Amino acid sequence: MSLKLKAVLPSEKNKIDFIDLKAQQRTIRSKIDLAIQRVLDHGTYIMGPEVRELEDRLGQFCGAKHVISCANGTDALGLVLMAKGVGKGDAIFVPSFTFAATAEVVAWVGATPVFIDSLEDTFNMDPQSLRNGIKKAKELGLTPKGIIPVDLFGQPADYDTIQTIADEHNLWIMADAAQSFGGSYKGRKVGSIGDAATTSFFPAKPLGCYGDGGAIFTNDAELATIIKSLRVHGQGTDGFYGKYDNVRVGLNARLDTLQAAILIEKLNIFEEEIKQRQVVAQRYNEGLKNVVRTPYVLGETLSAWAQYTIVLPENVKRETLIKSLQEKGIPTVIYYVKPLHLQLAYKDYPVAEGSGLPVCERLSQRVLSLPMHPYLDEETQDYIIESLVEEMG
């Protein structure tokens, strides 16, 4: 008879954080304090020197020629659509298995989001479903304009395959890299892939600030110029009086100087944090591979591991498991409970596959995300692994 070891919460720990931002802050708190103090001293709280410095540093990091910071990741997406002149009658192809912002911005500009199914293994946009979606859009009398792949949970989508489809139909690609900044795909860093890419600096993201923020990346100088104008009320010229010279209808979408200063300090340790995320993910993979389906990462691809998401066996009752883990002090989150095409706000928009998207609908019933961050120590991670294995029987 074998003995089952009972997982025990690590000593001196009374709470496991799903994402531990406090641990990171302890590491760089003195530098963050100094960065904030510098902004308070010079007093340029909007579009101060740190904003330009951050944009330059982000471009150096990922290889993009032009970086435009903005107020949040949703505005980043919307600004690109506005700059591309997307509007009524246009079709933009988006995955259904993602956060609402990706489709929301398409509706903002009056265009039609066409929902695409996911791949079972990577959770990302299914190229065959994309082909079907393009066909469906044309049948509906819409004009296909662009594709917004989402790098779900930190892994870049299969951009080579998607680019082939885009070239066949003369479509542009905007990479939604809200979760994947810091990752790479076949030697290209996220931010340098697609006609444009966007990211979010929401605090829980791999590179997050202490409020809201976002950025747009592109190698297209003309597109960058238009986006810079749009983020400041459609200004026509730079400088203090630029916002009073309005040449297009824009947004108030600037990044605060304080957030830029904080992000600069976080960017200094970002590469090391990405490396540590790989270590944490690999330990999860090894510990859980026999009881759940662990995440699959494409070859020559580096995930930023914004989330570590497993797929539970069909015989496991997810809500019961969540409750049992919660009783052990282990937080979990479901990303995402319901695909967008099944949500009230988006139910009337077209889907690529008949009346439904079977893969993402199935995934939404079986996925579960575990605590994931660069500061997840081995003792705590072992407790999470052992607890999950124990619960799975």
Single out the residue of 233, 189, 206 nearest to residue 67, CA to CA: 189
Q: How confident is the model at residue 283 (pLDDT cuts 50, 70, 90)?
A: very high
Report the chain's mean pLDDT, rounded to a whole number.
95
Q: Is there a cis peptide before residue 45, judged by omega within 30 degrees of 0?
A: no
Taking the C-alpha atoms of residue 156 and residue 62, their distance in angstroms, rounded to an integer, is 14
Burial class (CB in 10 A: 0-12, 13-18, 19+), 17: middle
Which domains are delineated in the chain?
A: 26-268 (3.40.640.10), 270-391 (3.90.1150.10)
Tell me: pLDDT of 186 over 50. Answer: yes
Taking the C-alpha atoms of residue 387 and residue 383, their distance in angstroms, rounded to an integer, is 6
Please say whether the beta carbons of 300 and 185 come within 8 A: yes
Taking the C-alpha atoms of residue 258 and residue 278, their distance in angstroms, rounded to an integer, is 30
Tell me: pLDDT of 233 over 80. Answer: yes
Q: pLDDT tens digits for 358-386? A: 999 999 999 999 999 999 999 999 999 99
52-59 contacts, C-beta under 8 A, 24 or more apart:
53/260, 53/264, 54/255, 54/260, 54/263, 54/264, 54/267, 55/215, 57/264, 57/267, 58/191, 58/215, 58/217, 58/267, 59/217
pLDDT at residue 2, rounded to an integer: 28
Mean pLDDT for the stretch of residues 153-177: 98
Tell me: pLDDT of 1 over 90. Answer: no
pLDDT at residue 14, rounded to an integer: 61
Tell me: pLDDT of 215 over 70. Answer: yes
Tell me: pLDDT of 55 over 70. Answer: yes
How many percent of the chain have pLDDT more than 70? 95
